[in-house]
Amino acid sequence: MAETWVNTPGDTPTDAPPGTPADTPADAPPDTPADALPDTPPGTSPGADFHLELSGEGSLRAQLMHALQEAIRSGRLAPGTRLPPYRSLAGDLGIARNTVAAAYAELVEEGWLTARQGSGTRVARRTAPLHPDQERRPQRQMRRRLVHDLMPSSPDAAAFPRAAWVTSVRSAVAAAPNDAFGVGDPRGRVELRETLAEYLARARGVRTEPDRIVVCSGFAHALELLGGVLKGTVAVESYGLDFHRGILHEAGLRTAPLTVDSSGARIDELPGTGAGTVLLTPAHQFPTGGPLHPDRRTAVVDWARSHGGVLVEDDYDGEFRYDRQPVGAVQGLDPDRVVYIGSTSKSLSPALRLGWMVLPGWLVDDVLAVKGPREMWSGVLDQLTLADFIARGAYDRHLRQMRLHYRRRRDQLAHMIAERAPHIKVSGVAAGLHAVLELPDNTEELALRAARRQGLALDGLHAYRHPDSTVPPRDGLVIGYGTPPDHAFAAALDALCLALPDPPQDEPVPRRARGRRGGRPPE
């Protein structure tokens, strides 16, 4: 089996006759070795590399045809892509030029490639489908395509502050020292860590120094790093992301659920878990939506002090609070017992892959040992850009604008539910980018199926419940209101209301809801 990386050319006119691959030298005899052909003409651009693998079965021509067909079928060679000239591909693969010419010619005849004078040999605009059964899929599956994304935690992509970010990119690159273009410090750029230390103290009440901050690519990455340091059992909230629990399990840790009620996690259950670490979302419990009660904030810090334990604080939605002042970080109560984790995934965009850990001093070296000697996770230039973005005040301005934007959406959601389905309670709306619709018992699965029929992407509460939780499950829908574009949000809410279950038969329907389940609310 032969593998090679092949370089596709730029557009170079040739004198090949019409109907033949355009890179054929008119005077080259058959079986001319590739290295005996003239060099690529001046002006030919080097193009882009693509991976080509010969199977080792059949003739070289058949192997090359099969490899090209697979590259086209899989989408690695997109329609319109220009293929290398005979001599270039023959040289890369170590085969004769006429073998390449014969393979190209047959693929042209079969419709996989096209060849025109002055344009070279290219992938045809219409080729075989990516999957043989793609065109035979039942039409009912195509009709079930999702229309509205109401999954929680995603921000409005259209609201990304492009102009302000570009300004910071230019400023950061212009001011970057030469060492910024190297491999990078595993702690992250000092410019960002200094800026974060000042910002987090001002905005979230975090007490730290730049040397105790480690930049990461987000919360999941931070949890992976901690997984290499922590031991034994980690207590977690009985409702949370299974993905995060999975990261801990893969690190060899056990998770034990803490009951979540209207005041947050039950801290009084911690001693019975045998845990040395507890993972919480104190600012806005995900997904149920309540903050950790002040008494419980104090209690979890007391537990960590008395047991030598660690609180991992996921500052989920800490910057998006609407009806009151933001809840400060628990880390400020005891920086030596709390690992504070934040990111830009919701405040700006998950595409930035930028997050941070504020660590107790005694944990910094252990976490860096797990991370490795180089920064391979978050782009150094992105770190410098974020540092500039925060320092010039653009981050604060963006957050203020987005709080107003998301508050309007939250109010629109709450109003629509109150008008169309007043028997459904909306909770967890004081902060964040999602709300919980509390459903009658045993109706969650029915509502999810109805939502799929309406083209909605969303989750129920059951999807977040810890499998070892002993508390009876709650029925509800977790509705994210950050993702849909403005022009589609009203339609998404309309589809959501159509998917909600009717009130129980023994519960009277409020007068204002009668006759309106299938239509829009009154003006």
pLDDT at position 252, please?
96
Neighbour-count burial of 93, counting CB atoms closer than 10 A to its CB (0-12 exposed, 13-18 middle, 19+ buried):
buried
29-33, 244-248, 463-467, range with the lowest pLDDT: 29-33
Cβ atoms of residues 437 and 500 within 8 Å = yes
Q: How far from the centroid of its chain's Cα atoms is residue 519's Cα? A: 35
Instruction: Give the separation between CA 20 and CA 95, rounded to whole angstroms.
Output: 20
- 113 contact partners, CB below 8 Å, separation of at least 6: 21, 68, 83, 104, 107, 121, 122, 123, 124
Neighbour-count burial of 148, counting CB atoms closer than 10 A to its CB (0-12 exposed, 13-18 middle, 19+ buried):
buried
Which of 237, 246, 245 is CA-nearest to residue 283?
237
Q: pLDDT per residue over 93-106, tens digit each?
A: 888 888 888 888 88
Q: How many CA atoms lie within 13 A of 7 on its CB side?
A: 12
Q: Where are the beta strands (DSSP E) in 268-307?
A: 277-280
Instruction: Give the separation between CA 88 and CA 90, rounded to whole angstroms.
Output: 5
Please check the confidence at residue 502 and state whether its pLDDT lies above 50. yes
Q: pLDDT per residue over 346-356, tens digit each?
A: 999 999 999 99
pLDDT at position 375, please?
75
For 2-123, the fitting CATH number among 3.40.50.300, 3.30.565.10, 1.20.1260.10, 1.10.10.10 is 1.10.10.10
Q: pLDDT per residue over 37-66, tens digit each?
A: 333 333 333 345 667 778 767 788 888 988
Average pLDDT, integer, range 325-334:
90
Question: Which of the residue ranges 73-77, 113-117, 146-150, 430-434 has the most confident prediction, judged by mean pLDDT?
Answer: 430-434
Q: Where are the beta strands (DSSP E) in 331-474?
A: 338-343, 355-358, 425-427, 434-438, 456-457, 459-460
The total number of residues written for the chain in this structure: 523
Which token pair is 41? 């003409």
Please check the confidence at residue 130 and state whether its pLDDT lies above 50. no
User: Can you tell me whether residue 261 is helix, strand or coil?
Assistant: strand
pLDDT at position 178, please?
94
Tally of helices (H runs) and strands (E runs) in the chain: 14, 19
How would residue 127 be classed by pLDDT, with cut points 50, 70 and 90?
very low
- 29 contact partners, CB below 8 Å, separation of at least 6: none
Please check the confidence at residue 521 and state whether its pLDDT lies above 60. no
pTM for this structure? Answer: 0.73
pLDDT at position 522, please?
30
Task: For domain 160-392, say whether CATH 3.20.20.70 is its number.
Answer: no
Instruction: Concatenate the DSSP letters of all residues of 390-423 into one string.
Output: HHTTHHHHHHHHHHHHHHHHHHHHHHHHHHH-TT
| Domain spans in the chain, listed from the N-terminal domain onward | 2-123, 160-392, 397-513
Alpha-helical regions (H) of 144-208: 162-175, 190-204
Please check the confidence at residue 459 and state whether its pLDDT lies above 50. yes
Please check the confidence at residue 147 and state whether its pLDDT lies above 70. yes
Which token pair is 397? 């301005």
Which token pair is 269? 């259950």
How would residue 140 be classed by pLDDT, with cut points 50, 70 and 90?
very low
**Of residues 378 and 448, more confidently modeled:** 448
Please check the confidence at residue 481 and state whether its pLDDT lies above 70. yes
Which token pair is 43? 């002006």
23-37, 120-134, 350-364, 425-439, range with the lowest pLDDT: 23-37
pLDDT at position 427, please?
95
Q: Write the DSSP symbol of residue 271.
A: G
pLDDT at position 421, please?
95
- Measured over the CA atoms of residue 264, residue 267, residue 269 and residue 272, the dihedral's sign is positive
Average pLDDT, integer, range 8-21:
43
Q: Which fold has domain 397-513?
A: Aspartate Aminotransferase, domain 1 (3.90.1150)
- 509 contact partners, CB below 8 Å, separation of at least 6: 423, 502, 503
Cβ atoms of residues 238 and 466 within 8 Å = yes
Cβ atoms of residues 402 and 320 within 8 Å = yes
pLDDT at position 91, please?
81
- The owner of tokens 């009668």 is 514
Which token pair is 297? 């904030």
- 243 contact partners, CB below 8 Å, separation of at least 6: 220
pLDDT at position 265, please?
98
Please check the confidence at residue 446 and state whether its pLDDT lies above 90. yes
Please check the confidence at residue 291 and state whether its pLDDT lies above 90. yes
Please check the confidence at residue 417 and state whether its pLDDT lies above 80. yes
Please check the confidence at residue 75 and state whether its pLDDT lies above 50. yes
pLDDT at position 327, please?
82
- Starting from the edge strand earliest in sequence, which strands make up the sheet with 434-438, in order? 425-427, 434-438, 476-480, 459-460
Pairing relation of β-strands 338-343 and 355-358?
A: antiparallel
Instruction: Give the separation between CA 401 and CA 319, rounded to whole angstroms.
Output: 12
Which of 369, 367, 341, 345 is CA-nearest to residue 356?
341
148-157, 292-301, 352-361, 390-399, range with the lowest pLDDT: 148-157
Average pLDDT score over the chain:
85
pLDDT at position 2, please?
53
Percent of the chain topping pLDDT 70:
83
Please check the confidence at residue 25 and state whether its pLDDT lies above 70. no
How would residue 3 be classed by pLDDT, with cut points 50, 70 and 90?
low
